Amino acid sequence: MRIDVGKEFSQRLVYRDKQQGEGTFNASEFREKYLKDLENNDWWQDDSKYIELDFSNVKTLSPSWANEAFAYYTSDHKPKMIFKKIRFVNISNVKEAIIKLEVDTGHLRK
């Protein structure tokens, strides 16, 4: 499954979650809408299943958004597995580094 994040969700990925009084298009909302398959443990066991996120239309990505959207999964999975199941395409080096740092540090805190 391929998702054009900037077109289908938002070009500005900055808000973490609504519980903190932040705006719409937050990371929790994204995770619940587009990454819901990752809540199924059987899905993680099937090597043929992954989600491809196209970041070509994303203008802004905050570390807190990346943490809530992707490092969330470090409670049950190692970063290597997360990046196997969530693949990023058409993403800048800076945005990719933000995501990697958040997932790696999220894993280290567990």
In the numeric block, which tokens belong to residue 105? 């540090």
Laid out side by side, the sheet with 2-4 consists of 2-4, 51-54, 86-89
Partner residues linked to 54 by β-bridges: 4, 89
Q: For 24-50, what is each residue's pLDDT tens digit?
A: 789 999 999 999 999 999 999 999 999
In this prediction the pTM is 0.90
Q: Is 3 helix (H, G, I), strand (E, B) or coil?
A: strand
Q: For 10-21, what is each residue's pLDDT tens digit?
A: 999 998 877 766
CA distances to 46, 47, 52, 76, 98 from 95, rounded to whole Å, are: 27, 25, 15, 24, 5
CB atoms within 10 A of CB 40: 11
pLDDT at 108 over 80: no
Q: How do the domains of the chain map onto residue ranges? A: 2-108
pLDDT at 22 over 80: no
In the numeric block, which tokens belong to residue 64? 């807190």
Taken in order 36, 40, 44, 47, is the CA torsion positive or negative? negative
Percent of the chain with pLDDT over 70: 93
Stretch 83-102: mean pLDDT: 97
In terms of C-beta density within 10 A (0-12 exposed, 13-18 middle, 19 or more buried), how is residue 96 classed? middle
